[in-house]
Structure 1
Amino acid sequence: MLQVALNGSRDAADGAAVPLSPGDLARSALEAVAAGAGEVLVHPRTPCGRESLSPRVVGPLLEEMRGAGVRVPLTVPAAVAAEPDPAGRLERVRSWTVLPDRAAVPFAEPGARELAAALLERGVAVDAVVPLGGGAGPEPLARFLEWAAPEPARVRLVAELAEADPALVAGLRWLPPVPVVLYGREDAAWPVLRLAVRCGAGARIGVAQVLRLPDGRPARSNAELVAAALDLRDGAATGTATGTAGSR
């Protein structure tokens, strides 16, 4: 599984590769799916650029993307960046009139288990996001392990790795049998993607994570990043490297 992360916390200052408007996000998603992405992660934003969980922001964006023909699962984040108050996050997701397929819930943030349970009650699958390595402590992973998910078949563990350390992934072997997705940011993005390929885990790539291709060239679009990721995957499978990924 390869998920494309369309925008994240990026804005116009990060360059033309970052889609901004709902129409741009829909086009970027369609291009990334055509390049091989199997899922889409999108951060809904108000017209002034602020992340939001409001049904008046989330609903129209999802409708725009689905109306444009995006047929793969759509994920939105339910995080402090969009709503700082834990009770406010619960109220927001319970008021959604148009539902995403999945929601990403950071287990480093307060109220994560209650929020994840509320999403499952609404029929929205959950990506439990847990940071590993770097300055991340053990609490987010422990919080996930202590959570008695009411529908474990509809939960994934999404691990943000500070570096491509195989020991971090080895430590996940004793987790409950849920699907695992690995991703990194900036300098860690491509090494972690390679690690995900070697481990047989799902992966995430997109301008939300990294703005450059594996060979250091600036990416022109999310679709170009997806194509490079699949090139890396195929190269790992055959023991060769092809042109899109560049030198490694």
Structure 2
Amino acid sequence: MIMEHHDKPAWLESLYAQKFFASCPIHDSLKKNEKNICCLDCCNSICPHCVASHRSHRLLQIRRYVYHEVVRLEDLEKLMDCSNIQAYTINAAKVVFIKKRPQNRQFKGSGNYCTSCDRSLQEPFIHCSLGCKVDYVLKHYKNLSPFLKVCKTLQLSPDFFVPQDMGDDDETMYTTLSSDSDSDNVSFSCTELVRKKRSGLYVCGRLSNTVTDEDMATSMSRRKGIPHRSPLC
């Protein structure tokens, strides 16, 4: 059976069908085994421990924002035309929602709304997600291929940490750009990091739970001394 031109590519279908942020059955006994990566060549969701066997493949990191799955706009633009899709900012990175987020509205005012799910948008955007744009293009143009781009390589962003033989006692710092409050991907909050940096507890890329005399002396030396008034004439 020959596929028609307007059919969605396999990697796009996998973004909708795969279940992300679930425990990886292959590495169930290891830490940080949450499937937050999509291998576009295998059309499968994988965890950071699976990356070693997919290094030559196109890898797309999946993130969370307000309980929805998102991808970096910079990565998605390498795969298809993302114009007119509203992007959001998470930790200084622009992201795009993957799936639709239907919003029931009894009345449309004089505003800008998504072409597919009627969600309120900022000007000049007309799509609130990747799924909404894909549906719009297929409905009006009947062909998705003009909007697709040739992408032979796609690697994880530099901020993504890939574990290497992590054991139960490994204290390696592991962070992702997840914004979900219930996600356990982030090992420590930014507030805690700033606080520990100021108190001298952030040493050599690791967080220390103990305070030594040397740490206290370093912290105290940063404080300003008592101001002295000039002698009165």
Q: Which category describes the TM-score, using the shorter chain as reference length?
A: under 0.3
Greater relative contact order structure (CA < 8 Å, 6+ sep): 1
Task: State the TM-score, normalizing by the size of structure 1.
Answer: 0.26
